[in-house]
Every structure is written in structure tokens, then in C-alpha cells.
Amino acid sequence: MDYEAIIVGAGPAGIFAALTFADLGIGPVLLVEQGKDLDKRSHEAVEDRLCGWGGAGAYSDGKLTLSTHVGGVLGEYLDERSLFQLLETADGMYAAHGAPDRIFGERTPRFDSLAERARLADLELVPSRIRHIGTENCRNVLERFRSSLAGRVETRTGCRVKGLLAEGGRIQGVLLSDGSVVNARFVIAAPGRSGARWMKEQAASLGLKTRATSVDIGVRVELPAVVLREITDITYESKLIHYSKTFDERVRTFCMNPYGEVVTEENGGITTVNGHSYADKRSENTNFAILVSSAFTEPFDDPIAYGRYIAHLANLLGGGPIVQRLGDLLAGRRSNPARIARGLTRPTLQSATPGDLSFVFPYRHLLSIMEMLEALEKLAPGVNSRHTLLYGVEVKFYSNRIEVSPQMETRVKNLFAVGDGAGISRGLLQASASGMLAARAIAERMK
């Protein structure tokens, strides 16, 4: 056997699996990453944004959500207390490797009174504590993880795993894209969203059961930071949920970035929008997403294709993401550069094309977004202003969920699947925790 364990993908899930092995003295372990090594990655290079040592987390905003209900489905495998402890341990590792000490969003009387006001506005304010690493600090934290692993876990970057090899229902190792085979007793697949398609193909060829999950579609909203200052001061990242009046759809705010920037994101040939903020650098705006989660009508069962189709429409019409003033949308006209320039919200994403989002979104999505903005207006006057900017499309694809045990083991013996690519997590902390969970289970098996 070449290795005790091979980890596919050096994102948070793979890194935490590797750290756990190293700390428990398990080896030899090989960590394989198809992208570049951390010091060779550049934010300017599109191919480096999601792939490379550090995974999608490298250029993320680094908000660690310390909630058992957010960022993944680990709560379906672990009881509340065990999950809480696991997340606390993972968070502690981030803090020990340089993540800032401060936690935002602790329950306080001010939070409770905001939650009451939210209820009067037909919104549910979900408590969530957050440690904010900040985009510029993510790199430093990852560098510390990288050096902590040096000499303890072998790492190969620029090396793609082509296939997972199994025989008689048991994993044997991996096939690399150069045609070589590496054997191992255990394999942890942690390929992330960028490797979700690969994971789906592997699951199909190994006969693993998968299940399609939902897709969340919506816009990135940008407005002057002062409009949401009271809320962002209290909660930093407020998670507000609303059930839209007309369609009774679940609509939520997501990834709020006080004083942040709207950015583009490449999604397999489609350009979508996202947002981030720096711990030390401030814009004059706050941005957040409004996402609509739809349950589709049978027999349709391909939410990812649906999400891609909608996002593609924006690219088709705008040559990339579209930006529109809310006032223009409500008046039934497109935004143009002159109207955007007259607006009181100055766009932080200059490359978005002024256009008309009503050509992009289905009626139910657009109406649900507008009803959410009306509800938010009651909580924070100014949100539903004609100067508010809407960027489209923001879409959250979730990978097909691989059937795993509570230890993250698949039906193929000794093959574990973790992180976003296996449909287990949707954020840094649950991705990291799922990697730890698998590595701990393997270590236990080795005793």
C-alpha cells in the first residue's frame, strides 16, 4: 500500500482532514490538489479563484458561521451537541492559525429587540455567531495551515485525480490524470463545488446513490451602508427569512457584507455575482444577496440546470452580470449608464452592464424578491429605495448529495465523501468539520 489515506482536494474539507490525520499521527497521507499551490495562486487568474491549495475558501470572505443550522447538513448526521462541539473545535483551529479573535452576532438584548421588530415586518431573524476572517486574512490563515502540514502530510498540487478505484465494494486508491495509480487503504473525496460534476460521475461509476438538492436563485443588493448600519452593527451578518406573500416561497438574505464590494464569480463558463468585504478596508456600501428557494414541480429533477439557465440569460442579455436600479425595475424600464450615474448608490462592481432584470427572472422569482424588499423596508427604511442597486444573477448551486454514513463513509468501504462537493456542506466551517469527522473515523478504524 502506497499510503494509509489519500485526500482528494485541498479546500477546507481536505485541509482539515489532513490536519486531523497529522495531529493524530496517522500516515503516510497524500493530499492531492488539481489547482496550483497556495503561493502560486492569483486572484486575477479565473482558474485560480476556486481551485488550488486552499480551495474556494482562499478568496472567500472568510465568515465562519458558528451555527449548527447554517452552512451544511451535518445536523442530519450528528446530534446538536456533538455538532456544536465539532464546529467549535474547527473554529478553534482557525483561531489558532491566525483568524481574528472577535466574534460577531452574540445574542444580546439589542439583538432580541431587533428580532422582535423583524417579526413585525414579517421577517424571521435567525441568530448566528460569526468569526470574520476577511478576504485579505484568509490567505495568511491558509499559509499557516500549509506550514503546519509541511513535513507531516505529503502534498501534490497541479495533480488531478481522474478516477476513484474500487474493487469488491472497497476503495483501492486513485487514478491520476497522468495515468499513474496510487494505492491507499482509505480515500477521502473532498472536491468542492468546482469538482461536483466529477464527484457525480465518480458516484455514478461506483454505483453510489445521490440525490439532487435545491438551487437558490436571486440578486445581489447594494445600498449605502448607512441604510443597514443599525442591523449590521448588531448582527454583522443578519440572516432574515421571509415567506413571500404571493407565492409563499422561502426568501432569505444571504452573505451580508457591510462596507463591502460586489464581485463576479465564474461558474463553469457563466459569470454570476457574489460579494465580499475586507476586515480593514471599507467601501461606502453594504451588499447582500436575496435568494429564493423553489421547490420544483415533478417530474423535473435538475435544479442545477435550471439555475444555470437563468444565470445564462443574464449573460446572454448583458454579456455578463446585469445591474439595475430598483426604481427602474419598478418603473418597467431598463437602467442605462446615465441612470446608474444619477443614482445615490455608487456601484462597486463597475463591470456589470446596466440593463433590465425583468428579462432574466421568472415572474415568481422577481415578485418574491420585490416582496422581500418591501418587508425589509419596514425593518430598515431605505432598503426599498429607487436608488438601491440589484445585480443579477446570484445563484447558489448545491452539489448532488452523496449517500454517506454519520462518519461520512460512502457505500464503497473506506471511501469517504465530505465538503461542498459531496453535498454535505455549503460553507467553510461545516466543510472543515466534515473533513475532521471523516479523518477521525478513519483514525479510529486504524486503532
Cβ nearer to ligand FAD, comparing 33 with 371: 33
Cβ(408)–Cβ(186) below 8 Å:
no
Q: How far is the CB of 34 from ligand FAD (least distance, A)?
A: 4
Q: How far is the CB of 97 from ligand FAD (least distance, A)?
A: 16
Q: How many angstroms separate the CA atoms of 434 and 418, rounded?
A: 6
Residues that bind ligand FAD (CB under 6 A): 8-14, 32-35, 50-52, 55-57, 59-63, 65, 71, 160-161, 190-195, 198, 265, 274, 276, 419-421, 425-429, 431
Q: How far is the CB of 358 from ligand FAD (least distance, A)?
A: 27
Q: How far is the CB of 368 from ligand FAD (least distance, A)?
A: 23
Sequence-ordered list of residues with C-beta below 8 angstroms from that of 314, at least 6 positions apart, any chain:
272, 320, 321, 322, 357, 360, 392, 393
Cβ nearer to ligand FAD, comparing 276 with 308: 276
Cβ nearer to ligand FAD, comparing 7 with 313: 7
Q: How far is the CB of 254 from ligand FAD (least distance, A)?
A: 10
Q: How many angstroms separate the CA atoms of 416 and 433, rounded?
A: 14
DSSP codes of every residue in 173-213 = EEEETTS-EEEEEEEEE--TGGGHHHHHHHHHHHT--EE--
Cβ nearer to ligand FAD, comparing 174 with 326: 174
Sequence-ordered list of residues with C-beta below 8 angstroms from that of 162, at least 6 positions apart, any chain:
174, 175, 176, 177
Sheet holding 103-104, edge to edge: 63-65, 130-132, 103-104
Q: How far is the CB of 183 from ligand FAD (least distance, A)?
A: 17
Q: How many angstroms separate the CA atoms of 68 and 93, rounded?
A: 17
Cβ nearer to ligand FAD, comparing 249 with 420: 420
Q: How many angstroms separate the CA atoms of 289 and 403, rounded?
A: 30
Cβ nearer to ligand FAD, comparing 148 with 194: 194
* CA angle centred on 440, ends 438 and 444, rounded to 5°: 115
